[in-house]
Chains A and B, each alone.
Chain A
Amino acid sequence: MSSRCRSARRAAALALAVLGPTACRRETREFATWPPSASASTAVREVELRPGPPTREVDVRGPYADNAYGVSEGKRLYNQMNCTGCHFQGGGGIGPPLMDSEWIYGSEPENVFETIVEGRPNGMPSFRGKLTNDQVWQLVAYVRSMSGLLPKDVASGRNDHMQVRSQEQSTPKGTPQQSALPPSAEHP
């Protein structure tokens, strides 16, 4: 075997080792999380102060920040749990908008988790005991994806009926226009 071939193989193996896990992570679907934490409750703490002896910190970053399936499940829950009733599709209305960069109670995953589980004054209800921790984390991921806090490749697409332009196949046929630019300059 030539040395060039060997080094190419090594590079390919390295690329697989580096890219493989990240690529899979985006599409991983974990269904059976057991035991279930039915009442989303103790995972989040905003201050360090707490009663009793020190306990082990729980990982509160949320498992779905780089997972397209989790984000899409969050989008499904966002509609089914009637978040749209107040926040609409992120633009806000009765509740504050979710697609801007302004966060009243913080934009970190644990802040959003806390908002959903505990509720907030002036209307945001508490979903404690109504969603599993996993479902809340999926919602967190989707809510954060709306304002671009998640990588673009995991964020869900816009719904068909909300597209700015109708789809190409349902627009009337037009005549080709002669561009002022030479074809070679159109895609520099």
Chain B
Amino acid sequence: MSVLQQLDSFPGRHSALDPGGPQAALIRDRLWDPMYATAVVTFVLVVAALMWAVFRRRSPGEESDDPRREPVMRRAVGLAAAVTVVVLFVFLVADVAAGRVVTATPGDDAIQIRVIGHQWWWEVQYRDSLPQRWVATANEIHVPVGRPVVLELRSTDVIHSFWPPSLTAKRDLIPGRVNSLWLQADTAGEFRGMCAEFCGHQHAKMAFIIVAEPAASFARWLAQQRDTAGTPQDSLTRRGQEVFLGSQCPMCHAIAGTPAGSRVGPDLTHLGSRRTLAAGTLPNTRGNLAGWVVNPQRIKPGAKMPPNALSPDDLQALLAYLETLR
């Protein structure tokens, strides 16, 4: 599969020029567009000057070391330098001003989400004053449309950087420190983001999706995520749960409502409802899930998940069970 095809198959807008929120729109309108226009004008002027210098005919008797030409050239170079300094200074002021607006503290009605960077996935927690109402998910951040969201950024291992280009600027996740970033989505839709700080082997396969949805469906999603996983209904999924709990899976993964409660890997309580697997690497389909469970090292070499040699029957039962986790 070519890179372009792969990019095509992923959901989510992923472009700083296609803003979905006020901050990205401001960055495009106040910084990108003026800088682009200025660069185009400068490029045209420089090429024109170059062409003029190349193709100008010397008047007869003109000497290249004529002392009368010196002041003229000095004035031309001085003027160009002055214009450059002025343009750069204007952009400096515009940059600082835009930065202040983009990072200004949002209103009081902001919701708080904790994002923890791991090698190589994103842990997402919606906290509440009651711990039993906490929601843990991975690589997928649901936000309500039109409401500011404050992200509390942490890291457990190395420095990562959170960057959804269609929504806001990037911010680092630094181990041992807490950073924060806010964003707001004005339109419903899916926005893709990436880790923007090299963080090891699978840095390139560390993406996430921000799903912006209307307040009502966001509340519905949050309520549904608070549920624990149900008891398996038929014999196949019951066998799948046994396989999950009896193998190495619960050493790292949690499924709320079962004894599996480890926080080393992503929480799988609602795995079936997520759009992608392995931090935006694969679309969440049964075949991809099977490949990922059996040999993650083939898909994402160096990922912390070990290969799992399951018998075909056990694997099918496990997949059936994991698909019920919605």
Contacts and interface: CB of A to CB of B under 8 A. Distances in A.
Given A32-B295, A32-B297, A32-B298, A81 B306 contact: no
A80 B307 contact: no
B50 interface: no
Contacts of A129: 246-248
A31 interface: yes
Given A29-B302, A80-B252, A131-B248, A36 B176 contact: no
Contact of B251 (A32, A33, A35, A130): A130
Nearest to B250: A130
Given A36-B308, A38-B307, A132-B307, A31 B302 contact: yes
A135 B306 contact: yes
A34 interface: yes
A101 interface: no
A35 B297 contact: no
B264 A32 contact: no
Given A34-B307, A37-B309, A160 B176 contact: yes
Interface in B243-275: 246-248, 251-252, 264
Interface residues of B, number: 20
Interface string A83-116: 0000000000000000000000000000000000
B301 interface: yes
Nearest to A76: B304
A160 B302 CA distance: 24
Given A36-B309, A38-B308, A31 B251 contact: no
Interface in B294-319: 295, 297-298, 301-304, 306-310
Contacts of B247: 38, 129
B159 to A, nearest CB: 14
Nearest to B157: A76
A66 interface: no
Nearest to B202: A31
Contacts of B248: 38, 129-132
Contacts of B246: 129
B251 to A, nearest CB: 5
B295 A34 contact: yes
Contacts of A38: 247-248, 306-310
Contacts of B310: 38
Contacts of A37: 309
B306 A36 contact: yes
B112 to A, nearest CB: 26
A94 B176 CA distance: 28
A132 B302 contact: no
Contact of A131 (B251, B301, B304, B307): B251
A132 B295 contact: no
B317 to A, nearest CB: 16
Interface of A: 29, 31-38, 76, 80-81, 129-132, 134-135, 160
6 contacts: A31-B201, A32-B297, A34-B295, A35-B307, A36-B308, A76-B304
Interface of B: 176, 201, 246-248, 251-252, 264, 295, 297-298, 301-304, 306-310
A-B CB proximity, top 5 nearest: A36-B307, A31-B301, A32-B297, A38-B309, A132-B306
